[in-house]
Amino acid sequence: MELFHLKDNCYYLKGAVNIGLININDNAILIDTGIDKQTAKNMEKIIKSKSWQVTHIINTHAHADHFGGSQYLKESFQAKVLAPKVEGIIMEHPVYEPFYLFGGAHPINELKNKFLQGSPVNIDEYIEPGPINIYEKTLEIVALPGHTMGQIGILFEDILYLADAAFGPQVLNKHGIPYFVDIDLQLKTLDYLETLNCSYYLPAHGELVTNIKDLTKENRQYIYNIANKIREILPGTTVEILAKLLNSLKINVNNPGQYFLMQAATLAYISYLNNTREITWEITSNILKWKVNTQPEKYPAKTT
């Protein structure tokens, strides 16, 4: 992990997850904390070597690789932890993540690992999108839903720390089916990102970006490509669609954690296509299959 200065008060720690850091008179505000105590200890060492004091931790969303180090750093620096409510509740009860990935049932032990179930965090304050003031500076909390329900980014001094609202091209290809829970909201988030005019945009996974439109274009195209592949695969059960989709992306899943993440990501597309009435379902002999909706008038319209 290495510390980079962006401009003025803005820094980041480059690593498996890029961590945002805003330094105001030697008081550091962290944006996410990495996956575990060891990562947090590495961060602590770098921050202490600068004689900075972490006073605030802002967590963008409840994925273990983003908040797993929060409780350690909170206790080590006596820092205050802030998170959006819907994400904070999961961070306080991290078993929810393997639970929801396993269809809402008590998960198999293989899903209870540090990648899918971070260490619990005591949240000090739930935050909403909008301005927050820290040390007489105003940070803008921006809503970036789609990757998770309540993900936020931090906009400060024309730099956007955008969490997992968009992925670098290599990360997209590596993930195969990048994790989005709501495709409609994700596309809207990409539209929103294009309205900004920042000097730098920092995705949590991937390289620092100066031209957001290159990144959003790649992400939008990637989403459209997966939706198209699903259209070509139909009809099929969720399991069949997932297998064919992974094969066409040349992804070989080799553990249940990865499988259930990919399944959830695929279901987000199915939900999106169903709710826009492009596809529908059919249950025969207790097998639910997704198929092209040839009679959209027969099925209920999307409700809000």
Sites of contact with Zn ion (CB under 5 A): 63, 164
Q: Which is nearer to Zn ion, 164 or 182 (CB)?
A: 164
Q: How far is the CB of 285 from Zn ion (least distance, A)?
A: 38
Q: How far is the CB of 2 from Zn ion (least distance, A)?
A: 22
Q: How far is the CB of 66 from Zn ion (least distance, A)?
A: 6
Q: How far is the CB of 264 from Zn ion (least distance, A)?
A: 12
**Cα-to-chain-centroid distance, residue 142:** 14
Q: Which of 142, 129, 148, 231 is nearest to 186 (CA)?
A: 148
Q: Which is nearer to Zn ion, 262 or 279 (CB)?
A: 262
Q: Which is nearer to Zn ion, 146 or 280 (CB)?
A: 146
Residue with smallest beta-carbon separation from Zn ion: 63
Per the CB < 8 A criterion, the answer to whether 24 and 139 are in contact is no
Q: How far is the CB of 179 from Zn ion (least distance, A)?
A: 6
Q: Where are the alpha helices (DSSP H) in 50-201?
A: 64-67, 70-77, 85-92, 96-101, 169-175, 183-194
Handedness of CA 204, 205, 207, 213 (dihedral sign): negative
Q: Are strands 80-84 and 125-127 parallel, antiparallel or unpaired?
A: parallel
Q: Which of 287, 254, 249, 253 is nearest to 269 (CA)?
A: 249
Q: Which is nearer to Zn ion, 10 or 204 (CB)?
A: 204
- How far is the C-alpha of 300 from the C-alpha of 58, rounded, in Å? 40
Q: Which is nearer to Zn ion, 63 or 74 (CB)?
A: 63
Give the Å distances, CA to CA, from 110 to 99, 230, 267. 12, 28, 21
Q: Which is nearer to Zn ion, 146 or 290 (CB)?
A: 146
Q: Pull the structure tokens for residue 34.
A: 């990495």
CB atoms inside a 10 Å sphere around CB 26? 10
How many residues are given for the chain? 304
Q: Which is nearer to Zn ion, 74 or 175 (CB)?
A: 175
Q: How far is the CB of 204 from Zn ion (least distance, A)?
A: 7
Q: Which is nearer to Zn ion, 92 or 240 (CB)?
A: 92
- How far is the C-alpha of 295 from the C-alpha of 273, rounded, in Å? 14
Q: How far is the CB of 143 from Zn ion (least distance, A)?
A: 15
Beta-carbon contacts of residue 171 (< 8 Å; ≥ 6 apart): 178, 203, 205, 206
Q: How far is the CB of 235 from Zn ion (least distance, A)?
A: 31
